[in-house]
Chain A
């Protein structure tokens, strides 16, 4: 299969920069899969799962926030968080999920609840990806 260059950056640095065969990612308008030779494209991404196919093998990761662009055959994924499945700390994610749940039920401040809900979504996504 033809390969293309995929770069994944988060505020923690350049996490991935390599030739891959495909990238499947959840944008705000649904799942989109990129293959080599994709037209120039842009989309914002939500919280979800990403699948990278490299040398015929699938790798999964949890992603949240940011956007993806395709330009001249290079795919740039700029995310707030991006963790490969093998790097997810399941205990931490579970603790974060429980903390967010109790924050939602105990708080009545709109802003705090919104933040906690976003945290909950990220934690649940991590757990989902890790337990796949």
Chain B
């Protein structure tokens, strides 16, 4: 049986770890609340954006624009949304697993968002488009609009022929799901029938303005979903870490008390047999 001193030391170390995980859980909970509100706010934006762009795309069937030109896929851009920090359960690794599966058979170039994502892409030696989107937690609408411009420009210039973004959808406080969405090529028959829409300005010029905006908006939604998911995953992970620590302290306490009892019993036996010997 381990000595009392060692057991005491272990209890202390588990307790101090628990203090940290408890604090992290509290932080994640408060961040989660804010992130959840954010997600709920952006969802109607995302939906309206989606229907509006589908209407525009199906109405632009006769517009000859490089956005719709069919091309053979030589290179694919993967936009990978992950967190800035670890200790969030499987949050980061789940995203990377899906990204790896998707990029297995493709010539890919990565655009990592979040510190962990950048580290991973560097570690795996993937080609990286830009590393200026490192801090996922500090980015806002403006950054995503700028990113929308970069991504759209690259597609139009033919740097890549397909764009897929991988992010974590915030289903509920307890459940987050990794999903991916194809941003380019734009699917012209997505909404089925092509319909007419009037416009006063030049169609090509208008699409050139609308599409980067649209991409930026979609990316912003994905960012909000990812941030909420990260907090959710971290809260769940920290919660179970707390439970484990509590359990561990319980068993260690039991062990400690047993060891203490054994020492006392031994002392009594020694005293009694000493007295008998006299």
- Within 8 Å of chain A (Cβ to Cβ): is B201? yes
**CB proximity to A under 8 Å, residues B181-200:** 195-200
Contact A42 B209 (CB under 8 A): no
B255 to chain A, nearest CB (A): 54
Contact A41 B45 (CB under 8 A): no
Contact partners of A41 in chain B: CB under 8 A: 197-199
| Given A11-B141, A69-B197, A80-B213, also A42-B56 (CB < 8 A) | yes
- Alpha-carbon separation in the docked complex, A78 to B141 (Å): 14
**CB proximity to B under 8 Å, residues A1-27:** 7, 9-14, 27
Contact B45 A43 (CB under 8 A): no
Contact partners of A55 in chain B: CB under 8 A: none
Interface of chain B, helix or strand or loop or mixed? helix
User: When each residue 39-52 of chain B gets 1 if its CB lies under 8 Å from chain A and 0 otherwise, what string results?
Assistant: 01110110011011
Contact B201 A13 (CB under 8 A): no
Residue in contact with A40 in the complex, picked from B41, B197, B213, CB distance below 8 Å: B197
**CB proximity to B under 8 Å, residues A65-110:** 65-67, 69-71, 76, 78, 80
Q: How many A-B residue pairs have CB under 8 A?
A: 87
Contact partners of A28 in chain B: CB under 8 A: 201, 206, 209
- Alpha-carbon separation in the docked complex, A29 to B206 (Å): 10
Contact A80 B141 (CB under 8 A): yes
- Within 8 Å of chain A (Cβ to Cβ): is B112? no
Contact partners of A44 in chain B: CB under 8 A: 201, 206, 209-210, 213
- Alpha-carbon separation in the docked complex, A29 to B209 (Å): 13
A64 to chain B, nearest CB (A): 11
- Within 8 Å of chain A (Cβ to Cβ): is B227? no
A65 to chain B, nearest CB (A): 6
Contact partners of B59 in chain A: CB under 8 A: 40, 42
- Alpha-carbon separation in the docked complex, A60 to B55 (Å): 27
**CB proximity to B under 8 Å, residues A28-62:** 28-30, 32, 39-44
A113 to chain B, nearest CB (A): 15
| Given A41-B198, A42-B55, also A9-B44 (CB < 8 A) | yes
- Alpha-carbon separation in the docked complex, A67 to B213 (Å): 9
- Within 8 Å of chain A (Cβ to Cβ): is B81? no
Contact partners of B256 in chain A: CB under 8 A: none
Contact partners of B83 in chain A: CB under 8 A: none
- Alpha-carbon separation in the docked complex, A41 to B206 (Å): 12
A96 to chain B, nearest CB (A): 13
5 cross-chain pairs, A with B, having the tightest CB-CB distances, nearest first: A13-B41, A14-B44, A44-B209, A29-B201, A9-B45
30 contacts between A and B (CB under 8 A): A7-B48, A9-B45, A9-B48, A11-B45, A11-B217, A11-B220, A12-B42, A13-B42, A28-B206, A28-B209, A39-B198, A40-B59, A40-B198, A41-B197, A41-B199, A42-B197, A43-B200, A43-B201, A65-B213, A67-B56, A67-B206, A67-B209, A69-B52, A70-B197, A71-B197, A76-B51, A76-B52, A78-B45, A78-B49, A78-B217
Besides A11-B45, A67-B210, 6 more A-B contacts (Cβ < 8 Å) are: A13-B44, A32-B200, A42-B55, A43-B200, A69-B52, A76-B52
